[in-house]
Amino acid sequence: MLLQRVIGLVVADPKAEELGGVRLAVVEPLGADLAARGKRQVAVDTVGAAEGQMVFTVAAGPARAASGMAGRPVALAVIGIVDELAGLDAPGTGKAGKAGKGDR
Amino acid sequence: MIIGRVTGRAVSSRKDEKLAGAKLLLIEELDPEGAPTGDLAVTIDHLGAGAGDVVLVTQGSAARFTAPTKDRPIDSLVVGIIDNIRLDGRETFSKSSGFARAGKRR
């Protein structure tokens, strides 16, 4: 699974029948420093993530294990919205840091 | 899944029998702002995409999960013809006006 950020939305018509009703999000992978890094792709979104939210995604065969995606031509799925990351080592500093919606 | 633009067709008269009748498109991969990534894919299409169309392509075994592609030797399939793309709250592509060329983000 990868940590990614939702940066946009895609609307397609016509779509393969098997993709009827799915929501399509543009996602961008995040690196160890939580900065955008790597190839932006389109994922089906099964959890209703909004633009700007940090999410985790699952790719390939397992993407079709996401709720409602069995038997559909889905190669990448958003399966969770990240509320908070805790205990993350701040990259490059060797120190523990925090990223997300604030302290708890 | 990736975004791509149809740049042409591949014609193959000698191919796996399970591909008989399949329409093979050449698709140039684009980033969501419309810049080519440099990758090219041979992709099966059952939606009627034509040259210049911006499409959504599913890759890997997912490509076999539609009625017309089931059990066929396919790993790249057009699953949508894109109407519009929104990035960071603004429309970067629409079928009627193409990609807004606003330069790179950030």
Q: Which residue of B has its CA nearest to A38?
A: B31
User: Nearest CB to A16: which of B37, B59, B80?
Assistant: B80
Domain B2-13+21-99, CATH: 2.40.50.220
Note the pLDDT tens digit of each residue in B81-106: 999 999 999 999 999 999 997 554 44
Under DSSP, the state recorded for B46 is S
Supply the DSSP symbol for B16: -
- pLDDT tens figures, B22-74: 999 999 999 999 999 999 999 999 999 999 999 999 999 999 999 999 999 99
**Chain B residue whose CA is closest to A63:** B62
Residues composing chain A: 104
The number of C-beta contacts closer than 8 angstroms across A and B is: 111
Residue numbers in A near B77 (CB within 8 A): 16, 73
As a whole number of Å, the end-to-end CA separation of chain B is 23
- pTM value is 0.87
Q: Which residues of A touch B55 (CB under 8 A)?
A: 12
Q: Given this model, what pLDDT does residue B6 score?
A: 97
Closest Cα of chain B to A103: distance in Å?
26
Domain ranges of chain A: 2-100
- A96 DSSP assignment: E
Which DSSP category does B53 fall into? -
- In the chain, the amino acid numbered B85 is I
| Mean per-residue pLDDT pooled into runs of 10, chain A (104 residues) | 97 96 97 93 96 96 95 97 83 56 41
Task: Please calculate the CA angle A86-A52-A69 and round it to the nearest 5 degrees.
Answer: 90
For chain A, the first-to-last Cα distance in angstroms comes to 25
CB of A11 closer than 8 Å to CB of A68: no
Max Cα–Cα distance, chain A, nearest Å: 50
User: Given this structure, which CATH class describes domain A2-100?
Assistant: mainly beta
Token pair 């169309």: residue:
B53
